[in-house]
Amino acid sequence: MVNLRFGAIEEAYKKRPLEVKTPTERPEQFYGKYVFNRTMMYKYLPVDVYQKLIDVIDNGSRLDRSIADAVAQGMKKWAEEHGATHYTHWFQPLTEGTAEKHDAFIEHDGKGGMIEEFSGKLLVQQEPDASSFPNGGIRNTFEARGYSAWDPTSPVFIIEDTLCIPTIFISYTGESLDYKAPLLKSLHAVNVAATKVCQYFYQDVKQVHTNLGWEQEYFLVDENLYFARPDLMLTGRTLMGHDSAKNQQMDDHYFGTIPERVQAFMKDLEIQALELGIPCKTRHNEVAPGQFELAPIFEECNLAVDHNMLLMSLMKKVAHKHSFRVLLHEKPFNGVNGSGKHNNWSLTTDNGILLHAAGKTFNDNLRFVVFIVETLMAVYKHNGLLKASVMSATNDHRLGGNEAPPAIISSFLGKQISDLLEHIEKSDKENIFSLRGKTGLQMDIPEIPELLIDNTDRNRTSPFAFTGNRFEFRAVGSGANCASAMIVLNTTVAEALQNFSERVDALVAKGEELPSAIIDIIREDIKTSKPIHFDGNGYAESWKKEALRRGLDCESNCPKCFDRYLDEDSIKMFESMNVMNRNELEARNEVKWETYTKKIQIEARVMGDLTMNHIIPVATHYQSQLAKNVQNMVNIFGDVEGKKLSERNIKIIREIAERTNIIETEVEELVNARKQANKTESQRDRAIAYHDTIVPKMEEIRYHIDKLELVVSDELWTLPKYRELLFIR
C-alpha cells in the first residue's frame, strides 16, 4: 500500500525557503506601482477630465458620461505600459470571494482585422453572464441580467496582464447582488447622519468618512501535506485529527521567531501587496502554531474592504509559489485557536477630526462622548443583527470557543470611559458643564487624555471593544468579506446618529440651548444603552446568564441568527437608511441559509468518504495484523498463555471492532439525516435541520476516529497528523 502521507512528509522536509528578490527600491518607491492612483490619473488624463473625476471621487458628484471615454483612454494607455492586455470588471458576489471575467482590449475593426478598443461604455458598465452567482431568487432566469458598474472611488489596478476595475454588481431591477453596493450605501448613510451631528460642534465639516483597519489571521500548511488531506482540500478544515501532544500550551509561537520559509512567503506577499497599494504594516506569529497575522494601516472603509479581498486572493497565489496553502477557514484545527479578522472601525471628518478620539476642549470632548454613546446605542439596539452579520457555518466553530469572542455581542469600554459615562449620567447637569467667562464651556470632569493608550486593553473576550480611538469588532471571521459586518455597523450607527439629532433638534426647537439639549439626550442614551456595556470576562458562564437577563441576543444557532435580518426593526432600519429593501434582505437570507446548508453538506459527504476509504480500511488492516500476531502467539505458547501474553493486542482488536462498528452505524445515520433534511422545502428549515442533526453527528463520528488515530500504528495511518500539519519546517 502506498502511503501518501509519508511521501508528503518527505517532500515537506526537503523544502528550503524560496529566494525572494528584495526590491532595489524602498517601499515608498514601489508602493502602488500597479494602481491607477491620483498621480497616475493626473499624468494620463486631460486636466479637465482629471478634475471632474476627482470631484466624483471626493464629493460623490455624478459621473459625467462625457468624461468616461477620456478616462478609459488614459487608463488603457497606463495599463498597456504596464503590460496589461486584458481588463475585467472585478466584483464581490455573495460567495465571499471575488469574481472577474477577463476580456481582451480588442474588437473587430470591421475590415477583417482587430483593433485595440476600450471605451468609456465598457469601463462604466458591463453585463457579465453571471447568472450562476447566488442571488436568492432576485434574478429569475427570464430576467437573469446582472450588471456590474464601475465604482470610481476605488482605484483600478493591474494583476499580471489584467486591468481590474472595481465594480458593484446589481440586478436589472437595481437590487444589490453583491457586498459592495450596500456597503457604499451604508457609507453614504453614516456620512449624512454623522455630518449633521458634527455640525453641532464644527460648522465647517462637510463630510464624514468611515475608517477600517483589518487584522487578518491565517494558517499556513505545507502544500504536500495539504494534498494528502482531502478534508482540508475540499472543506478548508480538518474534519478529523487528534490533538498534537504539543500545540499552543507553551505560548511559544505567539510573537516568536517566524520560521524561515514563512518569512520568505511574508516578504514576497508584502512586496506584492504594497505594489497593489495595500499599506501592509504589521506581521507576526499568532497564538496557534502555523498561525500568522498581517495588518495594514487603516484606510477609508470601501477601499479597505477591497484591499482585504485583494489580499486574500493574493495570499493564496503567493502561498502556492512557496509550496504552502493558506487556510482562511475560521477553525481549520480543533484544539488550537481559530482565525478571525479584527475590524478596527472609526469615523473621521473631511478636515481630519477623528470622531472616536478625545480632544482638548469641552467641545471636542462632548463630541467624543456623543460618538461613543451613539455607537453603543447602535450596537445595543441591533446586537443580534450585528452578530448575524459575522455568523457563518465556518465562523460558528470559532465564536463561543474560549479563544474568540462569545456569541453574545457586548462592548468593552475600559475604566476611564466607563467612569466618564457614569459621571455624565449621575452628576447634576449644572455640574457637567458651567460657563466660565472667556474660556467658554468646561467639563467638570478630569481631563480626558487625547490618546487613551492605556485603554487599549487586552480584554480579548470582548467582541466589540473600545481601544482608545476606535472600536474593534473582533467577531469577524478570517475568511469573511469585511463588508458584511461593515454594512450592518455603518447602517446601525447612521440610524442612531440620525435618531440622536432628531431628538436634539426637537429640544432646541422648544427653546433649550444646544449643549444642554445634547447633554440631556446623551444622559438618556447612556442609561438606555447600558445593557450592551460589559467590561468583564466574556468567557465566563455567569456572563451568559447575565446577558440573557439584560435582554441581549444569546442565540447561538447560526441559521436562526440570520433571522435577525428579517426582524421588522432591521428591515425598517435598512429601508429608511436606503441601504437595502425587504426584497433584497429576504433574497440575501435565502443565500445565507443555502450557503450554510451546502457547506455542511459537503463536509458530511467528505467525512463519509474519508471514513469508508481511509479510516475503516486502515483500522481493520491494523486489526488483522494484530489478530495474526495473537494467532501466532497461541501457536507458540498454547491457547491460554498465548492469549494472556496478547492481552494488550486483544484489547486493541476489541476497541477497533467496537469503534468501527459505531462509526459505520453513525455514518449511515449521517446519510439518512441528510436525506431527511434535504426533503425540507424552505432554505431556512433545511439549514436548521443541518445544524441540529448533521453537525452533532459529525462530531460524534470524529470522536471515535480521533480515538482510533491514537491506537492504530503510525506507519499505517494515511492522513497527515496534527503534529505534522501544524509545525512548519
Binding site for ligand ADP (CB under 6 A): 211, 213, 215, 282, 295-298, 344-346, 354, 456, 469-470
Tell me which residue has its CB nearest to Mg ion.
Answer: 342
Closer residue to Mg ion in complex, CB, 185/342: 342
The answer to whether residues 331 and 394 touch, using CB atoms and an 8 Å cutoff, is: yes
The item of Mg ion, ligand ADP, none sharing an interface with residue 4, based on CB under 5 to 8 Å by kind, is none
Name the binder of 213 from ligand ADP, Mg ion, none, CB < 5-8 A by kind: ligand ADP
CB of 238 to ligand ADP, least distance (A): 27
CB of 213 to Mg ion, least distance (A): 8
Query: Kind of pairing, strands 464-466 and 411-412?
Result: parallel
Q: Give dist(CA 584, CA 367) in Å, integer.
A: 35
Q: Please report, as a single letter, which amino acid is at residue 324.
A: F
Cell of 310: 485583494
CB of 466 to ligand ADP, least distance (A): 11
d(CA 31, CA 273): 8
Least Å from the CB of residue 344 to Mg ion: 6
Q: Considering beta carbons, is residue 178 or 330 the nearer one to Mg ion?
A: 330
Q: Which is nearer to ligand ADP, 354 or 566 (CB)?
A: 354
Instruction: Find cell 499505517 and name the residue.
Output: 716
346 makes contact, choosing from Mg ion, ligand ADP, none, with CB < 5 to 8 Å by partner type, with: ligand ADP
Give which of Mg ion, ligand ADP, none residue 73 binds (C-beta under 5 to 8 Å, depending on kind): none
Q: Which is nearer to ligand ADP, 354 or 602 (CB)?
A: 354
Instruction: Find residue 441's DSSP bridge partners.
Output: 435
For Cα atoms 539, 545, 547, give the angle at the middle one, nearest 5 degrees. Answer: 80
Q: Least Å distance between CB 454 and ligand ADP?
A: 13
Shortest distance (Å) from residue 288 CB to ligand ADP: 16
**Distance (Å, rounded) from C-alpha 715 to C-alpha 622?**
10
CB of 399 to Mg ion, least distance (A): 17
Residue 354 interacting partner from Mg ion, ligand ADP, none (CB closer than 5 to 8 Å by kind): ligand ADP
* Pick 438 or 458: Cβ nearer Mg ion: 458
> Shortest approach of ligand ADP to residue 622 CB, angstroms?
47
DSSP one-letter string for 50-102 = HHHHHHHHHH-PPPPHHHHHHHHHHHHHHHHHTT--EEEEEE-BTTSS-EEEE
The count of C-alpha atoms lying within 13 angstroms of the C-alpha of 366, restricted to the half-sphere facing its C-beta, is: 25
327: phi then psi, degrees, rounded to nearest 5: -110, 115
Query: Environment class of residue 703 by beta-carbon count within 10 Å: exposed (0-12), middle (13-18) or buried (19+)?
Result: middle
Q: Which does 535 bind (CB under 5 to 8 A by kind): ligand ADP, Mg ion, none?
A: none
Phi, psi (rounded to 5 degrees) for 289: -65, 145
Size of the site for Mg ion (CB under 5 A): 1
Question: What is the spatial distance between Cα 208 and Cα 500, in angstroms, rounded to a whole number?
Answer: 16
Binding partner at 362 among Mg ion, ligand ADP, none, C-beta below 5 to 8 Å by kind = none
Q: Decide if residue 470 touches Mg ion (CB under 5 A).
A: no
Q: How far is the CB of 456 from Mg ion (least distance, A)?
A: 8
Is the Cβ of residue 89 or residue 342 nearer to Mg ion in the bound state? 342
What secondary structure letter does DSSP report for 434? Answer: E
**Toward ligand ADP, which CB reaches closer, 307 or 331?**
307
Neighbours of 665 (CB within 10 A): 11
Select from ligand ADP, Mg ion, none the partner in contact with residue 295, using the beta carbon and a kind-dependent cut-off of 5 to 8 Å. ligand ADP
Q: Nearest approach, Cβ of 342 to Mg ion (angstroms)?
A: 4
Q: Which of 237, 261, 342, 367 binds Mg ion (CB under 5 A)?
A: 342
Contact string 179-198 vs Mg ion (x = CB under 5 A):
--------------------
d(CA 285, CA 600): 30
Radius of gyration of the chain (CA): 29
Contact letters for Mg ion, residues 523-552 (x by CB under 5 A): ------------------------------
Q: Count other Cβ atoms within 10 Å, centred on residue 258.
A: 18
User: How far, in whole angstroms, is CA 274 from its chain's centroid?
Assistant: 21
Q: To the nearest whole angstrom, how small is the minimum distance from the Cβ of residue 630 to Mg ion?
A: 57
Minimum distance between the CB of residue 342 and ligand ADP, rounded to whole angstroms? 6
Find cell 449643549 and name the residue: 515
**Is the alpha carbon torsion for 316, 318, 320, 323 positive or negative?**
negative
Q: Least distance to ligand ADP from the beta carbon of 172, Å?
A: 37
Helices (H) and strands (E) in the chain, counts: 27, 19
Which of Mg ion, ligand ADP, none interacts with 475 (beta carbon under 5 to 8 A by kind)? none
Residue 244 to residue 336: CA distance in whole angstroms: 10
Residue number, 342 or 721, with CB nearest to Mg ion: 342
Q: Supply the minimum distance, in Å, between the C-beta of residue 352 and ligand ADP.
A: 12
Nearest distance in Å: CB 215, Mg ion = 5
Q: Which stretch binds Mg ion (CB under 5 A): 21-29, 217-225, 251-259, 339-347?
A: 339-347
Which residue sits closest to ligand ADP, CB atoms considered?
Answer: 213
Name the segment binding Mg ion (CB under 5 A); options: 340-348, 360-368, 504-512, 567-575.
Answer: 340-348
Q: Say which amino acid occupies 678.
A: N
Q: What is the DSSP letter of 691?
A: I
- Contact range with Mg ion by CB under 5 A, out of 144-152, 337-345, 502-510, 655-663: 337-345
CB 424 within 8 A of CB 432: yes
Question: Closest CB to Mg ion among 322 and 342?
Answer: 342
Instruction: Indicate which of ligand ADP, Mg ion, none lies near residue 298 (CB less than 5 to 8 Å, by partner kind).
Output: ligand ADP
29, 125 in Cβ contact below 8 A?
Answer: no
The mark string for 371-410 relative to Mg ion (x by CB under 5 A, - otherwise) is ----------------------------------------
φ, ψ of residue 208 in degrees (nearest 5): -125, 130
Q: Can you read off the three cell numbers belonging to residue 636? A: 507458540
Give the C-alpha separation, 48 to 52, whole Å.
6
How many CB atoms lie under 10 A from the CB of residue 149?
A: 18
At a CB cut-off of 8 Å and minimum separation 6, what does 233 contact? Answer: 226, 227
Q: Which does 211 bind (CB under 5 to 8 A by kind): Mg ion, ligand ADP, none?
A: ligand ADP
Closest CB to ligand ADP among 456 and 578?
456
Q: Residue 638, Cβ neighbours under 10 Å: how many?
A: 11
Stretch that binds Mg ion, among 304-312, 324-332, 341-349, 397-405 (CB under 5 A): 341-349
Which residues of the shown chain bind Mg ion in the complex (CB under 5 A)?
Answer: 342
